[in-house]
Amino acid sequence: MQENFSGVGVAPGRVLGPVRQMPKPVQEPHANVNIPTDVTVESQAARVKDAAKAVQAELRSRAATAAREGKEVLEATALMAADPMLIKSAVKLLSPEAPGGARTAERAVWEAAATVAETLKGLGGYMAERVADVLDVRARIVAELRGLPAPGIPSSEGPFILAAEDLAPADTATLDPAKVIALITSGGGPQSHTAILARALGLPAVVAAPGVDDIADGTEVYVDGAAGTITTEPSEELRVAAKAWATQASTLAAFTGDNALADGYRVPLLANVGTGTDAVKAADAGAEGVGLLRTEFCFLDRDTEPTVEEQIAAYGAVFAAFPNKKVVVRTLDAGADKPLPFLTNADEPNPALGVRGYRTDLTSPGVLERQLHAIAAAEAEHEAEVWVMAPMISTAAEASRFAALCAEAGLKTPGVMVEVPSAALTAAAVLSEVSFASLGTNDLTQYAMAADRQLGPLATLNDPWQPAVLHLVKLTADGAATAAAATATAKPVGVCGEAAADPALAAVLIGLGVTTLSMSPRALSAVAAVLKTVTLARAQQLAALALAAPSAATSRSIVREHLPVLDDLGL
């Protein structure tokens, strides 16, 4: 019997294939197990430490052969496996003097990790987001102690659709797109790690679809990553749709690198990158420049601030890939989900609303200025057109000070990230102080809707199609126009959040007044293919429809109904 499941589509595509379920979680070890008298605390402690080391070694081994995104996640998870707080807590529970008496090695690890997870959850923000990592490591250590295979992506001789409640970072980081052809999860959200990775890999994906983690292994299903639907026992019509998408996807592979609407109106399509390697791939994909250089990749996984020379080399590698083209550099976006031991305070009760981004200059002055001088020095060695923007700008006064810091460093084009609603609401004043703005729709949506972007239950709120978010985008564009008229200087507004990679939403954003879009290189061809079918006037009509909609779902469906090209292209 055919079954239909509905969730949030986070990466477009229509595919057909057998489901393989992620292994169910490792079962909780029994409490109050009698421990043989010849089993010593020392031997149990050695087992725990050896198991943790084995898990760490296995994760590091996988990291050595993983792509950059996977490598970083696996290395971070490997560090968690040998976390002293976790191991020491487990060892203490092995002792007969521990509250409740001695535990087995498996039970001690289980309880210790639960305590650590609860502590992190109580801290909120970034620390709460690490709970999944702790529980993932717990499962791996307990499996190692039991002599069982580590939990992870199932093996398969042929391609399959991976189903799960949600995916741990260490699992999503090692996906092989040649085998895993789509992702479906009952949990997660549109900005979860799983969703972002699916978009980066170009995998059709649906998250927050209750029940998909119970689909029997081997069941053939049809996944529509744009509509957010999963269907078992697919009809012949759906089979034809999947075949058509496979053909159409290949025709979208080439992007000319010169994007325009149907009436000739130019809309540059740029790429989001983190390293020189990313930049080279983006240039090869036809990106017209870089709309977001995430400089934090130069700072992460370090206990000390990188030197100015190290930063010059890192930024220069990106600039070299785009001679005579625009490269928008975001200054260090530390804090919240990207803590740095030398810069941020891990004890903040709510890091998402704390000292992050530009605000770190308040508590650690000097880091931002050194970074700006490094960017300027790298610019002097290359031919890229370098623009620089600060994240988490909330007021015109902050924008003015950042512009002054850029001028002191010799950087000519300062800008701001609009991700705090206050910046959108006062865009005219903010943009009077700087040269441009870029909308970070991931955080703007999170803050506008007061919905943590990592939480599956809030997925419908945390959606950039929310009319409230679209109104903030329009306010920003309108404010930019006002500032431009007052200063007689153009004030371009771009979007570098995940919203830009949605072809339908891209058309709406242009209609709202956005002038450039920046996205994963994999999204360039699809966005370009849709935009070239609409005029600016048509984009403005679509934007008006989206703004007037009562909900995100209605906004999306109405716009898609007026863009039949999406179905033609399988998007």
In CATH, what number is assigned to the domain containing residue 19? Answer: 3.50.30.10
> Which one-letter amino acid corresponds to residue 494?
G
Q: Are residues 294 and 382 in the same domain?
A: yes
Q: Are residues 157 and 18 in the same domain?
A: yes
- 27-56: average pLDDT: 87
Using the predicted structure, report yes or no on whether residue 35 has a pLDDT greater than 90. no
Measured CA to CA, the distance from residue 469 to residue 10 in angstroms comes to 17
Q: Are residues 133 and 189 in the same domain?
A: no
Q: Are residues 295 and 201 in the same domain?
A: no
For residue 482, being part of any structural domain is answered with no
Q: Are residues 298 and 387 in the same domain?
A: yes
Cα dihedral 147/153/154/157 (nearest 10): -130
Measured CA to CA, the distance from residue 144 to residue 136 in angstroms comes to 12
Q: Are residues 370 and 323 in the same domain?
A: yes
DSSP label at residue 455: -
For residues 48 and 104, the answer to whether their CB atoms sit within 8 Å is no
For residue 110, being part of any structural domain is answered with yes
For residue 200, being part of any structural domain is answered with yes
Transcribe 82-114 into DSSP letters. T-HHHHHHHHHTTSTTSTT----HHHHHHHHHH
Domain that holds residue 313: 289-392
pLDDT, tens digit, 9 for 90 and up, residues 394-441 = 999 999 999 999 999 999 999 999 999 999 999 999 999 999 999 999
pTM of the model as a whole: 0.72
As a whole number of angstroms, the longest Cα–Cα distance in the chain is 84
Closest CA relative to residue 384, chosen from 313, 329, 323, 311: 323
Residue the block writes with tokens 């260490």: 170
Residue 387's pLDDT is what? 98
Tell which wins on pLDDT, 299 or 184.
184
For the chain, the straight-line distance linking the first and the last C-alpha, in angstroms and rounded, comes to: 27
Task: Quote the number of domains for the chain.
Answer: 4
For residues 475 and 532, the answer to whether their CB atoms sit within 8 Å is no
Transcribe 187-241 into DSSP letters. S--TTSHHHHHHHHHT--EEES-TTGGGSPTT-EEEEETTTTEEEES--HHHHHH
- 145-163: average pLDDT: 84
Q: Which of 332, 362, 392 is the last residue of a domain?
A: 392
For residue 9, being part of any structural domain is answered with yes
3-state secondary structure of 430: helix
Catalytic residues: 193, 496
Q: Are residues 141 and 165 in the same domain?
A: no
E strand intervals along 298-396: 326-330, 385-390
3-state secondary structure of 183: strand
Measured CA to CA, the distance from residue 463 to residue 445 in angstroms comes to 7
3-state secondary structure of 449: helix
Q: Are residues 47 and 130 in the same domain?
A: yes
Q: Which of 360, 392, 424 is the last residue of a domain?
A: 392
3-state secondary structure of 400: helix
3-state secondary structure of 305: coil
Burial label for 247, CB within 10 Å (0-12, 13-18, 19+), is exposed
pLDDT, tens digit, 9 for 90 and up, residues 363-404 = 888 999 999 999 999 999 999 999 999 999 999 999 999 999
Alpha carbon of residue 539 to chain centroid:
27
Q: Are residues 120 and 217 in the same domain?
A: no
- 302-331: average pLDDT: 92
Q: Are residues 141 and 156 in the same domain?
A: no
Tell which wins on pLDDT, 79 or 494.
494
Residue 126's pLDDT is what? 60
3-state secondary structure of 498: helix
Cα dihedral 203/206/208/214 (nearest 10): -100
Measured CA to CA, the distance from residue 506 to residue 498 in angstroms comes to 10
pLDDT band of residue 447 (cuts 50, 70, 90) is: very high
Q: Tell me the torsion sign for CA atoms 78, 79, 80, 85.
A: positive
For residue 297, being part of any structural domain is answered with yes
For residue 308, being part of any structural domain is answered with yes
Q: Are residues 170 and 104 in the same domain?
A: no
Q: Are residues 227 and 262 in the same domain?
A: no
For residue 185, being part of any structural domain is answered with yes
Tell which wins on pLDDT, 320 or 67.
320
3-state secondary structure of 568: helix
Residue 197's pLDDT is what? 73
Q: Torsions phi, psi of 287, nearest 5?
A: -55, 140
Residue 436's pLDDT is what? 98
pLDDT, tens digit, 9 for 90 and up, residues 285-305 = 899 999 999 998 777 666 678
Q: Which of 358, 392, 426 is the last residue of a domain?
A: 392
Q: Torsions phi, psi of 130, nearest 5?
A: -85, -5
Residue 430's pLDDT is what? 98
**What is the residue-averaged pLDDT of the chain?**
88
% pLDDT > 70, the chain: 92
Residue 297's pLDDT is what? 79
For residue 112, being part of any structural domain is answered with yes
